[in-house]
Amino acid sequence: MKTMRVARLHGVGDMRVRDELIPTPCADEALIRVTAVGICGSDLHWFAQGGIGDAQLAQPLILGHEFSGVVEIGELRGRRVAVDPQINCGKCEPCREGNPNLCLAHRFAGHGSDDGALREFIAWQPDCLFPLPDALSDEDGVMLEPLGIALHAVDLAHLRPGMTVGVYGCGPIGLLMIQVARISGAARVFATDKLAHRLDAARAFGAEVFAADGDEARAILAASQQRGVDVAFEIAGQNAALETALTTAKAGGCVMWAGIPEDDRATITASSARRKGLTIKVVRRMKHTYPRAIDLVACGRVDVRSLVTHRFPLEKTSEAFAVAARREGIKVIVNGGQ
């Protein structure tokens, strides 16, 4: 039997690389040779806390849901593909209503009991595979998943040309959100983060930046002449960022909540949200975004390549997670086997 190298999480901070059998795809699956995997903030929750909310590590788990690869067995054999990490049932009420991201019986790579892509080969559903054009690298393909979340959030916000936007948290999704907001017609984008290098990246994408030092809400309101923002995107997963979103959203405005809190809890100042009549929406992954994401990157409207700052081989997955956890760069990528 042929084996592959696998990075499997056994406990908090306990990532082990070892040999396991290459999966045998079922009749309705394709076998993909993984070439690149991104480390997401949600992966860091699994690594550092052993889970996300009520989903806790019950058995050793292979993380990794932002990935691309080459089809080894299946209809698209030989093609480079980006992979949607969620397999939907297609039968539950949310699926039938056109909301597959809310599927009640889904599988998701690198979550719960479903192993993800931090390995050399993975078997996955063919309808989750999106061929990459020659203009896109395998690493570009990895970035389509976080770009999809940004696209979905902007869709939910009903962003219109001329609006003013706040993006609170300038990790990869936040920086992609800035770009998508700009090409969607946002007249001004205010952005916050605690890290100077991420604020520099946000500024390069056209945002007006503010350090998340406790005074950012006042500064943003002053910059907007006390009007506030039409849409506030919370991407940091921190209560302070959520409060900034609520404080800076204009009366009748919208707060898009996409961050994942470390302790699965968040609090808000109810009077502020109530008196302004805010609409608060929670962003759950993405839906129907891969074709658009591919086109936006291929035509140069969205820059994903500059966000990749660190690369590690599969054998050094623990080091990759340590760098990502320290927020030393922006996007950390693990390159797959050959």
Buried b / exposed e over 171-209, threshold 16 CB at 10 Å, is bbbbbbbbbbbbebebebbbbbbbbeebbebbeebebbb
The residues of the chain that CATH labels 3.40.50.720 are: 148-282
Q: Which of 150, 195, 147 is nearest to 293 (CA)?
A: 147
Task: Name the pTM for this structure.
Answer: 0.95
The residues of the chain that CATH labels 3.90.180.10 are: 3-131+304-335
pLDDT at position 264 is: 85
- In the numeric block, the tokens 């999704």 are attached to 173
Q: Which of 259, 208, 212, 207 is nearest to 233 (CA)?
A: 259
Q: Which two tokens mark 317? A: 């997955």
Q: Map 45-109 to HEC letters.
A: HHHHHCEECCEECCCCECCCCEEEEEEEECCCCCCEEEECCEECCCCCHHHHCCCHHHCCCCEEC
Cβ proximity of 312 and 324 under 8 Å: no
**One-letter amino acid for residue 300 of the chain:** G
Residue 222: CB partners within 8 Å, gap ≥ 6?
Answer: none
- In the numeric block, the tokens 């500024």 are attached to 203
pLDDT at position 53 is: 86
pLDDT at position 68 is: 98
Report in angstroms the alpha-carbon separations of 149 from 196, 233, 290.
Answer: 24, 12, 10
- CA-to-CA distance for 338 and 336, rounded, in angstroms? 7
**Rg of the Cα atoms in the chain:** 20
First-to-last alpha carbon distance for the chain, in angstroms, is 18
pLDDT at position 272 is: 86
71 forms beta bridges with 32
- CA-to-CA distance for 273 and 265, rounded, in angstroms? 18
CATH code, residues 148-282: 3.40.50.720
130 forms beta bridges with 82
We find that the CATH architecture of domain 3-131+304-335 is Alpha-Beta Complex (3.90)
In order along the chain (338 residues), what is the average pLDDT of each group of 10 residues? 95 96 95 98 93 90 98 97 97 97 96 95 98 98 98 97 98 98 98 98 98 97 98 96 97 96 87 94 95 98 98 97 95 81
